[in-house]
Every structure is written in C-alpha cells, then in structure tokens.
C-alpha cells in the first residue's frame, strides 16, 4: 500500500444555519479545502461523502451525485457513505483505502448534515433510526436513554460521578470558545451542567451534544506527491473500523464499546503506535459519559478511571492527553454526517501548529475516534506529522 497524506482541509461554521443550504455548505467546505491544498479541482479523482440522513432531514437522497454536480466535479465518482453518526469517519476511511490502493491519487473525503430545517421531534426521529427499531425504539428508547443506561452502569461499577461527567462538558465548552467554527462560544460551570434540565437522568441538557448544521472536507493524496502541494502534509498512518450489535441488550458490557476497542487495536497496529504515543485525540462525546468511556476504550487510562483523569485535568489542553481540543461534539456541535471529518480537520490543524489558542504544544501524533449510534460502528484514525 502507498502512504497517504492529508494535503487540504476545509470546514464551515457549525450551528443553526437556517440561511445556508445543504448545497452551499458542502461547496464552502470543499472550496476551503481546495484552497488550502493549493490544488486545482480538475485534479480530483474521486469523492466520498459522509451523510447520515439527508432523506429525512432535507428530503434529498442521491447526494453523492448532487454534490459532484454542484461542485463542478462531474464526472468523477462520488459516493455517499452512511454509518449513522460515524458516516464522516467511514467516508475518510474509504478515501484512505482508495488512495493507499493506488486506484486514485487525489481523493476528497467530506461530511455534511443539515439538521435544523425540521422540527426537533422530526430530527430526533431521524437520529433514532440509528438504533434498533424493533428492540429499542419501538418500546420508547432514545439515544439519551441508551447512554443514560451506560452512565448508570458506569457509576455503579466504577464510582463515576455526575460531577465528573459534568467536567467533560466544562472542558469542551472551554475549548470551543477558542474555535471560530464551533457552535457554542460559551463557558459552562459544573453547577450549570448539574442544574440544567433533566433529559434522561443522570444525563442533563448540558451533558448532551446539540442538533447542528455543518460540513467539513479533507483532501488526500499519496505521500510521495503531497509535498508538491503542501509544506506540512499530515500522514494518516493507521485506520481501523469495527462493528458491534446495534442494540445494547446483545452486548457483554454496558461500560465499554467493543467496536471502539477493536477499531483502535487495528489502527494502532497499522500505525505502529500505542495509546502512550498519542499526543491528542478527538473522541466521540455525543454525551459526556461517551467521552469517559472513549478515553478508557482507546487505552488512555484504565477502565473505570475516565472520570478521575478528567477531574484531575489530564484531558485538558496542557494535560497529559488533551481530548477534544476543538470543543468536541458537545461544544463544537454535532452535524452527524460531518462529525468524523471535522475531527480529522482539527487533528490536522493541531499537527500543523495552526490551532491558535487551543494549540497543543509539540503535537506530533493525533487520533480521531468516530462512533455510530450507541456503538454499533466505530472508526479510528491515527495521524502523524510528515516531517
């Protein structure tokens, strides 16, 4: 296989973008990536677009061709990739495989979701399609409810507290204040999180990621060609994907996502690194408990110690392993199809040294972790400076 590098990144503002259309968002993110890569759009060979549910959010399917058309990239192959909230990460993985295999040289991996043009109930219904319809949704389970079950079990087994979960939100909102693309530029306190309206206890409103519009894009190339376009190409040295049962009742544990542990194992092996080599990570914090479980499953701390290391500041910028410097899904926002690509954009900017006030000093190796649903799908990528 060929080594693969990121040569360009682009991202829109995340938020409630009522005055911007689906088509306009993806074109904006793509144009920024092309400008960043200093590449001519005519050189692009293929495109993979992560998108979870455009059919329900904007009543539009067949978005691969739609995007290629409006980007002026016809007739290149453009493929929509769907894996619930992991759609963006899976699109990136397909793009990596395509370049590594030698089938194409310059490939776009993009992600987009337009979620706020429908009422919140419709949006929640669309998101619920990522859960098991027969065994979970039919009997009233929601994603806050499913993650609340995980939180309760984590609290029971390891003594994790609601205050420790709240500290995830506090940290990620703090980081988002320094990200111009983030949905929320507001700090929160532990008390504010604990006293926010209950959603499904122990999860409160400020434990949950928001409904968001946004798009993100990266451009990949063979490493040997990357320096012609960018002085600081970032290599993707590892990629891993794994699946688990879509429903919680079929899993051996409620406190660990097997798809995450298996995807991480594959990505670490391919990259030739371990958890201790990672300088920073973007993880899938759709709920605050999800971040605690993720840093455990990725090997950044022992199982059950996620709350403790968060409380001690180890996951803050300047800590041992900074997590979600972008603000994460919690502060940056969670346009589900775009999230995995937005994570890659943040890692690339960090490794280039372009993250401004949220910069992690001396960052050389980063990781992105994207989850679909309650853990039925997970994808992990390892990035390294191409010095």
pLDDT category at 33 given cuts 50, 70, 90 is very high
User: Can you read off the two tokens belonging to residue 387?
Assistant: 């010095």
SS3 308: helix
For residue 232, the model assigns a pLDDT of: 85
Co-location of 147 and 74 in the same domain: no
Among 201, 226, 251, give the residue marking a domain's end.
226
Would you say how long the chain is, in residues?
Answer: 387
What's the number of domains the chain is made of? 2
Residue 231 lies in a domain: no
Strands (DSSP E) found in 74-202: 78-81, 107-113, 198-200
In the chain, the percentage of residues whose pLDDT exceeds 90 is: 97
Average pLDDT of the residues in 125-150: 95
Model confidence over 72-126: pLDDT tens digits? 999 999 999 999 999 999 999 999 999 999 999 999 999 999 999 998 889 999 9
For residue 70, the model assigns a pLDDT of: 94
pLDDT category at 315 given cuts 50, 70, 90 is very high
Residue 387, pLDDT > 80, answer: no
Residue found by looking up tokens 């406190």 in the block: 255
Among 199, 226, 253, give the residue marking a domain's end.
226
Residue 151 lies in a domain: yes
Residue 345 lies in a domain: yes
Contact call for residues 115 and 336 (beta carbons, < 8 A): yes
Co-location of 41 and 186 in the same domain: no
Determine how many CB atoms are found less than 10 A away from the CB of residue 314.
18
pLDDT category at 231 given cuts 50, 70, 90 is confident
pLDDT category at 306 given cuts 50, 70, 90 is very high
User: Can you read off the two tokens belonging to residue 368?
Assistant: 């992105």
Residue 58 lies in a domain: yes
85 counts as catalytic: yes
Average pLDDT of the residues in 222-231: 91
Among 168, 192, 226, give the residue marking a domain's end.
226
Residue 232 lies in a domain: no
For residue 386, the model assigns a pLDDT of: 86
Distance in angstroms (rounded) separating the CA atoms of residues 128 and 236: 32
Co-location of 46 and 176 in the same domain: no
Q: Which CATH number is 323's domain given?
A: 3.40.47.10
Model confidence over 253-275: pLDDT tens digits? 999 999 999 999 999 999 999 99
Co-location of 160 and 276 in the same domain: yes
Co-location of 110 and 171 in the same domain: no
Co-location of 102 and 178 in the same domain: no
Nearest to 60 by CA among 107, 129, 142, 118: 118
Co-location of 17 and 89 in the same domain: yes
Model confidence over 359-370: pLDDT tens digits? 999 999 999 999
User: Can you read off the two tokens belonging to residue 34?
Assistant: 């092309």
Q: State the residue range of the domain holding 294.
A: 120-209+237-385
Residue 154 lies in a domain: yes
Residue 290 lies in a domain: yes
Which helix (H) or strand (E) is 340 found in, with range?
helix 339-352
Distance in angstroms (rounded) separating the CA atoms of residues 227 and 215: 26
For residue 8, the model assigns a pLDDT of: 97
Catalytic site residue from 154, 173, 334, 381: 334
284 counts as catalytic: no
Catalytic site residue from 85, 181, 217, 286: 85
Output the pTM of the full model.
Answer: 0.98
Co-location of 312 and 178 in the same domain: yes
Co-location of 321 and 380 in the same domain: yes
Nearest to 328 by CA among 357, 385, 368, 299: 368
Distance in angstroms (rounded) separating the CA atoms of residues 290 and 150: 9
User: What does pLDDT average to over the chain?
Assistant: 97
């Amino acid at each position: 296989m060929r080594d693969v590098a990121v040569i360009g990144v682009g991202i829109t503002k995340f938020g409630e973008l009522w005055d911007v259309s689906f088509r306009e968002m993806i074109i904006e993110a793509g144009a920024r990536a092309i400008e960043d890569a200093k590449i001519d759009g005519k050189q692009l060979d293929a495109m993979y677009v992560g998108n979870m549910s455009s059919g329900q959010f904007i009543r539009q399917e067949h978005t691969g061709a739609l995007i290629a058309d409006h980007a002026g990239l016809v007739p290149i192959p453009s493929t929509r990739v769907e894996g619930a909230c992991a759609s963006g990460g899976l699109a990136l993985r397909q793009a990596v495989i395509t370049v590594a295999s030698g089938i194409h040289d310059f490939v776009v991996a993009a992600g987009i979701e337009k979620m706020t043009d429908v009422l919140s109930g419709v949006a929640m219904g669309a998101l619920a399609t990522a859960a098991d319809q027969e065994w979970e949704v039919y009997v009233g389970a929601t994603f806050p409810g499913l993650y609340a079950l995980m939180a309760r079990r984590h609290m029971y087994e390891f003594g994790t507290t609601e205050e420790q979960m709240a500290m995830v939100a506090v940290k990620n909102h703090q980081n988002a204040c320094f990200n111009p693309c983030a949905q929320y530029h507001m700090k929160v306190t532990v008390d504010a999180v604990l006293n926010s309206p209950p959603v499904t206890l122990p999860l409160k409103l400020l434990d949950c990621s928001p409904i968001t519009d946004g798009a993100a894009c990266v451009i990949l190339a063979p490493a040997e060609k990357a320096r012609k376009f960018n002085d600081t190409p970032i290599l993707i040295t590892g990629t891993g994907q794994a699946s688990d049962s879509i429903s919680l009742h079929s899993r051996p544990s409620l406190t660990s996502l097997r798809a995450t542990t298996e995807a991480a194992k594959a990505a670490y092996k391919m990259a030739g690194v371990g958890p201790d080599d990672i300088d920073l990570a973007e993880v899938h914090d759709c709920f605050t408990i999800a971040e605690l479980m993720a840093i455990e499953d990725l090997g950044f701390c022992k199982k059950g110690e996620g709350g403790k290391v968060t409380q001690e500041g180890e996951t803050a910028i300047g800590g041992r392993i900074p997590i979600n410097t972008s603000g994460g899904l919690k502060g940056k926002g969670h346009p589900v199809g775009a999230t995995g690509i937005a994570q890659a954009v943040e890692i690339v900017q960090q490794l280039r040294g372009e993250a401004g006030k949220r910069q992690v000093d001396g960052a050389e190796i980063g990781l992105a972790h994207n989850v679909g649903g309650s853990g039925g799908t997970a994808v992990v990528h390892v990035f390294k400076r191409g010095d």
